[in-house]
Amino acid sequence: MIHSYQKVRRDMQEQPVIALDAMGGDNGPSVVIPGAAESLIRDPQLKFIIFGDKNVVPRWLDRYPSVAEVSEFVHCDIAVRMDEKPSQALRRGRRESSMWRAIDAVKFGKADAAVSAGNTGALMAMAVFNLRTMPGIERPAIAGLWPTNRGESIVLDMGATIGADTTLLVDFAVMGAAMARAVFDQRRPTVGLLNIGVEEVKGLEPVKRAGQILRALDLPLAYHGFVEGNDLGQGIVDVVVTEGFSGNIALKTAEGTARQIGNFLKNAMSRSLRTKIGYLLAKPAFDALKEKLDPTRANGGVFLGLNGLVIKSHGAASSTGFSNAIDLGVNMVKFDLNRKIARDIDTSHQIDNVPDDTSVQKAVST
């Protein structure tokens, strides 16, 4: 028995099967299929199950025979719209939509991960409804890759679970650290809790308590302490943990600030002939910045804490962006992410053994 189980795991990890929602995002199959082709160049072992409309997807598969060759195509009558409310999408798209069926493929073990560029709220609602949370985890999180001065950090939660308590913050830390081990290939990723001051006395009670627990327990992560909003872009830790309300506000504030600075510079550059010429000469630098900040290149978010891996690609992703999302999923499948999370969660749930007082906190901190 054990032998055959191990064999199945090995197959899964060596030849991942990825379920693709071909109808998600602003561009549907015109981005999804070329994206799959890009991922195949990097990893020729991949297989796909592609869910979508038979009137459009096969045309794209014809253009990308490398994808067609390793894929199974499944027609779906319904495509979830980008502006659909989660409840609406669930009502209309349950069982029938390409989004639901991609998740279903993960649920029934036909695929190892699902990737969709569709509507985030609908995807999360369907994923939670269909996959349910892992044993011991109450609520899921969306983990994103945040561009930093040093590369990238994982930030979670981006908006799935608002107002998290201590246990959830610890769970998020465990899940984020497991993802960092998969994505950054780090044995003991550094983890920080987002707070409004770096001193131990400041901030929300659940955040302070989560800090005590992360310090005390023996988990495969290096707890760094508190980090603040301005530390996000510095990349001082591999994983930043917060609940979804402040995580979402941080994410959108950063996006908004970047856009604001871009607009301001554009206007300032066009004010005189001198600055216009300067802009043309400095254009390579601006292009580099644009590329760094371009949301169509970002690979979206990973839903953590569910009985199956679901990756949300950015709705406006290019084929390269979508391909990055596939690669992210493949990475985590090969790492066997969810099994590692399940093991770590067992450890982290020994929090009742951590007395809630500062003397212990001081004793264990270094």
Catalog residues that contact a second copy under the rule CB under 8 A.
85, 148-149, 159, 162-163, 194, 196, 199, 201, 203-204, 228-234, 242, 244-246, 248-261, 263-265, 268-269, 271-272, 274-275, 277-286, 288-289, 292-293
Nearer to a second copy, 267 or 359 (CB): 267
Report the C-alpha gap between 277 and 125 in whole angstroms. Answer: 50
Cα(358)–Cα(200) distance, integer angstroms: 10
Least distance (Å) between residue 121 CB and a second copy: 8
Q: Which is nearer to a second copy, 32 or 251 (CB)?
A: 251
Minimum Å gap between C-beta 122 and a second copy is: 13
Q: Which is nearer to a second copy, 29 or 244 (CB)?
A: 244
Is the peptide bond between 157 and the residue preceding it cis, with omega within 30 degrees of 0?
Answer: yes
Nearer to a second copy, 285 or 364 (CB): 285
Residue 249 beta carbon to a second copy: minimum distance, rounded to whole angstroms: 4
Min separation Cβ 189 and a second copy, Å: 20
> Least distance from C-beta 87 to a second copy, angstroms?
9
Q: Which is nearer to a second copy, 55 or 149 (CB)?
A: 149
According to DSSP H, which parts of 185-282 are helical? 205-216, 244-269, 273-281
CA–CA separation, 44 and 248 (whole Å): 36
148 versus 166: smaller Cβ distance to a second copy: 148
The residue assigned the tokens 């201590």 is: 166
> Among residues 12 and 265, whose Cβ is nearest to a second copy?
265
Q: Which of 156, 196, 153, 195 is nearest to 173 (CA)?
A: 156
Residue 225 has phi, psi (to 5 degrees) of 120, -160
Smallest gap, in angstroms, from Cβ of residue 209 to a second copy?
A: 14
In this complex, which beta carbon is closest to a second copy, that of residue 58 or of residue 225?
A: 225
Least separation in angstroms between residue 275's CB and a second copy is 5
Residue with tokens 């499944």: 74
Separation of alpha carbons 64 and 347, rounded Å: 46
State both tokens at 112: 């190892």
Beta strand extents in the chain (DSSP E only) = 17-21, 47-52, 71-75, 113-116, 141-148, 151-156, 190-194, 222-227, 239-241, 301-304, 309-312
| Counts for the chain of helices (H) and strands (E), in that order | 15, 11
Residue 17 CB contacts under 8 Å (≥ 6 apart), including other chains: 46, 47, 48, 49, 110, 111, 112
- Least distance between a second copy and beta carbon 347 (Å): 28
